Amino acid sequence: MPELPEVETVRGELEPLLAGRTLHRVEILDERLTRPFDPAAVARELEGERVAAVERRGKYLLLRFESGRVLLVHLRMTGGFRSLPASHGRAVVTLDDESVVVYRDVRRFGTWLLLEPDEVDAYLAERIGEEPLGPRFTAKQLAARLAGRRAPIKALLLDQRIVAGLGNIYADEALWYARVHPLRPGGELGPDEIRAIVRGARRALRVGIERRGATLSDYATPNGDRGTMQEEFKVYGRTGEPCPRCGTPIAKTRAGGRGTHYCPRCQR
Ligand SMILES: [Zn+2]
């Protein structure tokens, strides 16, 4: 599933394709994409909108139009855009310069939601917390969110309202950098550990963005490139392989229902 670095990579490639362009023709071929709204009605609403910017909040892509409306795209498991002809196309957007952008999604969990200008902020505020690479994601702010919480820190980091954009890969990597055991209850972590988690999350995400995301299955960028973050994994998916810091075999457990990788020696 695309996490913050993968979505940011997609955003970076979509922006030059879409910014300043008008959506000339929109075909939505999959009714699940806009459910519960009628895909043909959404497509008609989108036609004629001019893209002001392509932004990201957490794992959401925001196509911000000059009208103030926003098309909020969540890629979920396998959603993505291509500027090339693509199989599994769920929507096809023809721009005013006749270029075509295809939205494809093999497993069809992705969503498109068109929001009116006055709906955008409230919609996002209800669903996602601070941007981990932004100035407001601090140890103090994270400590306040974790206070009194008995769930494992790994599960809490996956909660998009606590921190936006982390998923299973980058949460595991962040906790390895921070040297914090993934099953530690969030509310029992000390200030130094919380500071280390903030730094670890930022580091894992920055490496992910530099490597243009991880390519594990179906993910590719709009230009068809594939990220190489998987070559940088310290713990994720490396069960039994040596910890890059101490050589101890990486262990696997479960937290919040998700497979969780950690070093039993470095992360206590
Ligand atoms: Zn280790």
CA torsion 16→52→6→176, rounded to 10°?
120
Is 59 part of the annotated catalytic residue set?
A: yes
Whether 12 contacts 209, CB under 8 Å: no
Specify the long-range contacts of residues 120-124, CB closer than 8 Å, at least 24 apart. 120/62, 120/70, 120/72, 123/72, 124/57, 124/58, 124/60, 124/72
> Ligand 1 centre and the CA of 234: distance in Å?
9
What are the tens digits of pLDDT across the range 176-190? 999 999 999 999 999
Closest CA to 213 of 225, 223, 202, 201: 225
The Cα 183–Cα 154 span in angstroms is 7
Is 258 part of the annotated catalytic residue set?
A: yes
> Ligand 1 centre and the CA of 249: distance in Å?
8
Among 56-70, 87-101, 182-196, 239-253, the minimum mean pLDDT is found in: 87-101
> Ligand 1 centre and the CA of 179: distance in Å?
8
* Per-residue pLDDT, 219: 58
Is 268 part of the annotated catalytic residue set?
A: no
Percent of the chain with pLDDT strictly greater than 90: 85
Pick the catalytic residue: 21, 25, 258, 265? 258
Pick the catalytic residue: 2, 132, 182, 222? 2
The Cα 166–Cα 155 span in angstroms is 11
Q: Is the model's pTM score more than 0.85?
A: yes
- Looking up tokens 């969030």 gives 186
> Ligand 1 centre and the CA of 25: distance in Å?
53
Among 110-114, 117-121, 223-227, the minimum mean pLDDT is found in: 223-227
> Ligand 1 centre and the CA of 78: distance in Å?
32
- Looking up tokens 């926003």 gives 70
pLDDT of 218 strictly over 70: no
Pick the catalytic residue: 11, 56, 57, 59? 59
* Per-residue pLDDT, 217: 61
Is 2 part of the annotated catalytic residue set?
A: yes
> Ligand 1 centre and the CA of 242: distance in Å?
8
* Per-residue pLDDT, 148: 97
